[in-house]
């Protein structure tokens, strides 16, 4: 049903991505125009949520000014933050709702689009049942929008199936921290990082994906700290690593268990901490007995001496911090990987003291806040479980419904797409999610989207996923609606409405409330402003682990952010969790978790002998819906390239800039080669921000971690072959841009 | 206005970002036939003065650091002027304000006294000695940085 209308070329001509290089009216106007006001807010992109001031003139954002007083980034910004304002006033911006016809999208009135959406959703539910409609959310939404969307799914639609794109980010880490500490948040604020003597960064491309964290690590090194980096590639921070562990993709667990083995073998564990603050140590001790350095080395490809050295450096340091990101988490054993890292932290007693801890570097803008208040398929506001009768009673009470009316947990993000493909889910309401680019096995995602009987999407640009929608609702950019987000450190911060949505575009929360009213549930959605939503959220989260009850917009502004939990209005917030090693479990103990080895879901073999790993570049953000429209960012890294080690390149007769076809058990794509000595010789790397035939996710597989349901983006099996020539997308125009004659890089 | 590139991407992830070094005796100004490049009393070397610049590119060719650029649409040499609009009113230059790793930083000497590296501002390009206002952090005990261009030429020829 929902086949993309018209040709790709037609859609691209009209809706982009087009490149915006200059502010509205050009640089001359920008430098002559004095802003009416500077709005202190935050970057719309990653989980660092840097403070930034937007220059506003009239109803337009015309530039930015660093915000040096904001304590997290003190004025620092990455290229995405510097250029972010160029998405405002963009020619591709959706200014009206669109309806799909057989050949095109046509502009519609809000009345028409909303009435159709409500009618079709109701028809599908009447015919196939409540759970035949699913809702997708996203972790770039403010916490108010995330909360509202969870309530919308469960109260207005009454469906079990709501999940969000944070499922593709770090849910495995969240699950592991929940198992170990009964709370899903970084235990430490970033201000602890410079105080450590040893930083161990595993699967974390800090320089490109969390750029401001680089400064914290460099300050640690300026103070004499040592840096250990484990990654299949030399990422920018590894240039200053004291010890670099170039492990094989998907073998982090063997490395971590190997390090714990060495710690225990050499009696470097902290017996007092283990005794006083933990349970489950003996079972974990027994499980790592077989991971001696020789075996860990055989599995990881890292020399045994290096594994021993890493274990000694980490354990012998009085103060050490282990940090991790998608490399550790994007695996079908992502929970085990993170548990193994927590085990190492607990065994060495590096928790609850100055300059100590383990921490996840949450990736998405509101990756933390967006997962705390009810758009996860199994959670209610306040980081409560949807299975907990007390939690159901509390939230149902705040919402004015009976606990029995609350649906049970539903499918996770990939499972929803699988159910759409299987015909079980017939309709989808999506906001802030571009699964056509971000879910693994993109052909499968496309097939599924084409099967939907009804698909409504809310977005500000026509994303690759929106091409499949029956109704496109023109929503708002981050700077067009007030709200809060929660950064990677657990700091709740205030997003300001700098401008209003242009022309006929609407605030996201207004769209959701309007739809709820049209579904006959208006009395549960009386909200006129985000502040009203936040007031209800405070009550709904009250008493949960992620307790926002004591947080107000005014307190956030006065304190430059409030760390949760913050249970009362006079509470200052909680930057450090688990002070003195006391977990959130009723007994206060931290739980060692067994972290057993399991093979990847897409193992290498004779036909597909090469590891494929995917990731990011500094100039692009997630599926690129925003950043692929900003000229200055696209120029930094215009098209995806496949990184290949010279040794592998030689075996395949490939030289730098050759076109190379990468084939996996799903599909094949052809990209230009970047021959670099900074990657393992048995591994190739592709950044994933692009769509269609340039999409790394054409190649990845749908194996999920069984507990957290995170896909295994970081490990696939592939083969490579020199291509006869450029692929069809590499037009003459593209070729000039990516391979100018005589260019050095 | 900043030169940024990978040093040798095939071999390493190392990158280098250079602003203008603001030489005490700027080579760009020495070679300018139109006397368009001025250094202020505060030591900041400015972009070429638009009314004087003839876009001859002498400065582009002569600067040993490779800093000046001719902007064709303005027919003028432009380069880093230490964000004069910002630094003249007590702010940091934009690059040093936003640099996520603080590889470019605008600091007082006492702020970096505890660092392991030594700040250097004396460069030798062959026989030419240049002293600059901008410092480079170099290995401990370094008193100057020497670059012999011919060495790089030989290395290239041997590959």
Facing A212 at nearest CB: one of B5, B12, B100: B100
In angstroms, the separation between the Cα of residue A620 and the nearest Cα of chain B is: 16
Inter-chain residue contact B94 with A678, CB threshold 8 Å: no
Cα distances (Å, whole numbers) of residue A96 to A9, A473, A519: 21, 7, 22
Whether B129 and chain A come into contact, CB under 8 Å, resolves to no
Residues of A in contact with B100 (CB under 8 A): 76-78, 211-212, 214-215
Interval A578-590 mean pLDDT: 94
> At residue A160, does pLDDT exceed 90?
yes
| Residue B118: Cβ within 10 Å count | 15
Contacts of A677 in chain B (CB under 8 A): 10-12
Dump pLDDT digits (tens) for A30-66. Answer: 778 889 999 999 999 999 999 999 999 999 999 999 9
What's the pLDDT score for residue A119?
Answer: 98
Q: Which residues of A touch B114 (CB under 8 A)?
A: 222
Mutate to test the interface with B, among A30, A217, A222 (most CBs of B within 10 A): A222
Q: What is the pLDDT of residues B4-18, one digit of tens each?
A: 888 899 999 999 888
Task: Give residue-wise pLDDT tens across range A610-649.
Answer: 999 999 999 999 999 999 999 999 999 999 999 999 999 9
Contact state of B98 with A646 under an 8 Å Cβ cutoff: no
pLDDT digits (tens, 9 = 90+) for B36-76: 999 999 999 999 999 999 999 999 999 999 999 998 888 89
pLDDT digits (tens, 9 = 90+) for A165-182: 999 999 999 999 999 999
Q: Counting Cβ atoms within 10 Å, is residue A372 exposed (0-12), middle (13-18) or buried (19+)?
A: buried
CA distance B41 to chain A (A): 26
CB-CB under 8 Å, A677 with B11: yes
Q: List pLDDT tens digits, range A701-723.
A: 999 999 999 999 999 999 999 99
Per CB-CB distance under 8 Å, the chain B contacts of A77 are 98, 100
**CB-closest option in A75, A214, A676 to B9:** A676
Judging contacts by C-beta atoms under 8 Å, the chain A residues touching residue B12 are: 234, 239, 677-678
Q: Please tell me the distance from the alpha carbon of residue A563 to that of residue A179, in angstroms, as a whole number.
A: 21
pLDDT in tens, A351-392: 999 999 999 999 999 999 999 999 999 999 999 999 999 999
Shortest CA distance from B95: residue in chain A: A76
Given A211, A678, A744, which is nearest B100 (Cβ)?
A211
> Mean of the per-residue pLDDT values for chain B?
90
- Could A76 and B14 be called an inter-chain contact, meaning their C-beta atoms sit closer than 8 Å? no
Distance from CA of B84 to the nearest CA of A (A): 14
| Contact by Cβ (8 Å): A521, A156 | yes
Write out pLDDT tens, residues A167-224.
999 999 999 999 999 999 999 999 999 999 999 999 999 999 999 999 999 999 999 9
The string of pLDDT tens digits covering residues A494-503 is 999 999 999 9
How is residue B78 written in tokens? 């432009």
Select from B51, B47, B55 the least CA-distant residue to B73.
B55
Q: Do A76 and B13 touch (CB under 8 A)?
A: no
Looking at residue A745, what is its pLDDT?
Answer: 39
Average pLDDT over residues A96-113: 95
SS3 A328: helix
Mean pLDDT of chain A: 96
Residue A473 contacts residue A458 (beta carbons within 8 Å): yes
**Mean pLDDT, to the nearest integer, of A394-407?**
97
Query: Cα(A259)–Cα(A245) distance, rounded to whole angstroms?
Result: 12
Residue A383: closest CA among A242, A543, A233: A543
Residue with tokens 């108010």: A144
B13 vs A: CB within 8 A: yes
SS3 A414: helix
How large is the average pLDDT for residues A258-264? 98
CA distance A290 to chain B (A): 36
Q: Taking 50 as the threshold, does the pLDDT of residue A744 lie above it?
A: no
Our CA-based measurement puts residue B14 at a distance from the nearest CA of chain A, in whole angstroms, of 7
Please give the Cα distance from A400 to A140 (Å, whole number). 28
Q: Please enumerate in sequence order all residues whose Cβ is within 8 A of that of A306, keeping only pairs 6 or more positions apart, or say none.
A: A243, A245
The reply to whether residue A81 touches residue B98, judged by beta carbons under 8 angstroms, is yes
CA distance A579 to chain B (A): 29
Instruction: Judge contact between A708 and A378, C-beta under 8 A.
Output: no
pLDDT of A741 above 50: no
Q: How far is CA B6 from the centre of its chain?
A: 16
Q: How far is CA A511 from CA A51, A458, A480, A576, A588, in A?
A: 28, 8, 13, 37, 43
Residue among B5, B15, B99 whose CB faces A76 most closely: B99
pLDDT reported for residue A743: 42
- Closest C-alpha among B14, B101, B4 to residue A211: B101
In angstroms, the Cα distances linking A456 to A2, A148, A511 are 10, 17, 12
* pTM summary value: 0.95
């Amino acid at each position: 049903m929902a086949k993309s209308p018209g040709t790709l070329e037609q859609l691209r001509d009209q809706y982009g991505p087009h490149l915006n290089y200059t502010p509205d009216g050009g640089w001359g106007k920008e430098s002559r125009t004095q802003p009416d006001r500077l709005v202190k807010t935050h970057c719309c992109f990653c989980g660092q949520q840097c403070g930034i001031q937007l220059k506003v003139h009239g109803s337009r954002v015309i530039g930015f000014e660093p915000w040096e007083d904001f304590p997290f980034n003190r004025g620092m910004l990455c290229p995405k933050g510097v250029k972010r304002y160029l998405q405002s006033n963009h020619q591709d911006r959706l200014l009206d709702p669109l309806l799909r016809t057989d050949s095109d999208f046509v502009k519609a009135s809000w009345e028409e689009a909303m009435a159709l959406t409500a009618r079709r959703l109701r028809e599908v539910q009447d015919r196939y049942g409540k759970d035949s409609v699913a809702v997708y959310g996203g972790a770039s939404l403010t916490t108010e929008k995330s909360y509202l969307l969870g309530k919308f799914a469960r109260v207005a639609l009454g469906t079990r199936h709501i999940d969000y794109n944070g499922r593709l980010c770090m849910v495995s880490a969240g699950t592991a921290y929940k198992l170990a500490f009964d709370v899903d948040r970084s235990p430490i604020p970033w201000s602890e990082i410079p105080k450590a003597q040893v930083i161990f960064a595993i699967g974390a491309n800090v320089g490109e994906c969390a750029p401001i964290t680089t400064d914290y690590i460099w300050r640690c090194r300026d103070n004499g700290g040592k840096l250990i980096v484990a990654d299949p590639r030399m990422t920018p921070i590894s240039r200053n690593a004291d010890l670099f562990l170039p492990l094989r993709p998907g073998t982090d667990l063997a490395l971590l268990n190997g390090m714990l083995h060495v710690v225990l073998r050499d009696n470097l564990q902290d017996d007092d901490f283990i005794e006083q603050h933990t349970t489950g140590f003996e079972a974990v001790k027994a499980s790592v007995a077989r991971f001696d350095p020789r075996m860990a080395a055989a599995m990881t490809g890292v020399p045994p001496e290096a594994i021993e050295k890493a274990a000694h450096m980490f354990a012998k340091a009085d103060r050490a911090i282990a940090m991790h990101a998608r490399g550790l988490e994007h695996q079908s054993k992502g929970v085990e990987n993170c548990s193994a890292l927590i085990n190492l932290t607990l065994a060495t007693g590096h928790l609850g003291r100055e300059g100590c801890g383990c921490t996840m570097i949450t990736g998405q803008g509101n990756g933390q806040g967006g997962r705390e208040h009810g758009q996860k398929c199994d959670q209610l506001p306040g980081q409560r479980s949807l299975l907990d009768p007390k939690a159901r009673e509390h939230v149902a009470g705040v919402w004015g419904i009976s606990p029995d009316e609350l649906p049970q947990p539903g499918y996770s993000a990939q499972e929803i797409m699988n159910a759409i493909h299987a015909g079980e889910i017939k309709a989808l309401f999506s906001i802030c999610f571009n699964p056509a680019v971000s879910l693994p096995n993109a052909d499968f995602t496309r097939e599924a989207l084409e099967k939907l009987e009804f698909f409504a999407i809310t977005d500000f640009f026509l994303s690759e996923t929106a091409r499949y929608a029956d109704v496109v609702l023109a929503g708002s950019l981050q700077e067009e609606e007030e709200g809060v987000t929660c950064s990677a450190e657990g700091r709740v911060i205030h997003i300001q409405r700098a401008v209003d949505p242009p022309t006929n575009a609407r605030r996201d929360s207004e769209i959701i409330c309007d739809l709820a009213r049209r579904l006959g549930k208006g009395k549960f959605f009386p909200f006129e402003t985000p502040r009203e939503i936040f007031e209800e959220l405070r009550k709904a989260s009250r008493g949960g682990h992620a307790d926002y009850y004591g947080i107000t917009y005014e307190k956030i502004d006065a304190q430059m952010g409030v760390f949760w939990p913050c249970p009362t209005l006079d509470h200052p917030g909680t930057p450090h969790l688990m002070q003195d090693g006391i977990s959130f479990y009723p007994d206060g103990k931290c739980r060692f978790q067994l972290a057993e080895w399991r093979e990847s879901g897409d193992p290498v073999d004779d036909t597909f002998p090469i590891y494929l790993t995917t990731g990011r570049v500094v100039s692009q953000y997630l599926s690129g819906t925003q950043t692929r429209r900003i000229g200055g960012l696209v120029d930094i890294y215009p098209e995806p390239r496949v990184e290949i080690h010279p040794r592998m390149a030689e075996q395949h007769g490939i030289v730098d800039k050759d076109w190379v076809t990468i084939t996996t058990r799903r599909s094949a794509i052809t990209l230009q080669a970047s021959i670099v000595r900074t990657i393992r010789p048995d591994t190739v790397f592709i950044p994933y921000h692009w769509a269609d035939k340039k999409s790394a996710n054409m190649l990845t597989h749908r194996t999920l971690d069984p507990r957290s349901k995170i896909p295994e983006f970081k490990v696939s099996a592939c083969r490579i072959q020199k291509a006869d020539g450029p692929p069809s997308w590499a037009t003459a125009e593209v070729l000039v841009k990516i391979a100018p004659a005589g260019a050095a890089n | 206005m900043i030169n940024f590139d990978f040093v040798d991407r095939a071999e390493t992830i190392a990158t280098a970002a250079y602003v203008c070094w603001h030489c005490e005796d700027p080579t760009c100004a020495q070679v300018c036939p139109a006397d368009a490049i001025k250094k202020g009393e505060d030591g900041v070397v400015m972009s070429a003065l638009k009314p004087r610049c003839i876009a001859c590119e002498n400065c582009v060719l002569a600067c040993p650091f490779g800093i000046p650029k001719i902007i064709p649409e303005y027919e003028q040499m432009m380069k880093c002027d230490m964000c004069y609009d910002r630094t003249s009113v007590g702010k940091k230059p934009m690059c040093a304000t936003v640099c996520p790793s603080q590889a470019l930083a605008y600091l007082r000497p006492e702020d970096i006294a505890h660092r392991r590296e030594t700040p250097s501002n004396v460069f030798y390009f062959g026989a030419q000695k240049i002293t600059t206002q901008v410092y480079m952090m170099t290995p401990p005990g370094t008193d100057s940085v020497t670059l012999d261009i011919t060495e790089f030429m030989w290395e290239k020829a041997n590959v």
